[in-house]
């Protein structure tokens, strides 16, 4: 995934990195914050099936592995980009 930020410039994030960063209730326990998603269970070649804007604050991504419940806020994507 390629993103362009005013402060970071162009950043390329591996799709698997973005997929594994999902914070939905199926991927992260909503009370304890414990990660439920095992990154080893995500295919190395995972791709975006559908991506849509959610207001002005997030992307909703449906993945080729069938997962489609997470929202990726711009803040979350920016934080991931800073680690790239």
- What is the Cα–Cα distance from 23 to 29, expressed in whole angstroms? 9
Is the pLDDT assigned to residue 51 strictly greater than 90? yes
Q: Domain map of the chain by residue range?
A: 2-83
Average pLDDT over residues 57-79: 97
- What is the Cα–Cα distance from 16 to 20, expressed in whole angstroms? 6
pLDDT of residue 84: 73
Average pLDDT score over the chain: 96
- Note the pLDDT tens digit of each residue in 7-36: 999 999 999 999 999 999 999 999 999 999
Is the pLDDT assigned to residue 71 strictly greater than 80? yes
The CATH number of the structural domain formed by 2-83 is 3.30.2020.30
Average pLDDT over residues 52-62: 97
């Amino acid at each position: 995934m390629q993103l362009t930020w005013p402060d970071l410039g162009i950043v390329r994030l591996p799709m698997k990195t973005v997929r594994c960063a999902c914070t939905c209730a199926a991927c992260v326990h909503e009370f304890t914050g414990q990660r439920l998603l095992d990154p080893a269970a995500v295919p190395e070649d995972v791709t975006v099936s559908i991506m849509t804007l959610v207001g002005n604050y997030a992307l909703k991504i449906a993945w080729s592995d069938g997962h489609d419940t997470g929202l990726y806020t711009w803040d979350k994507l920016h934080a991931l980009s800073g680690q790239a």
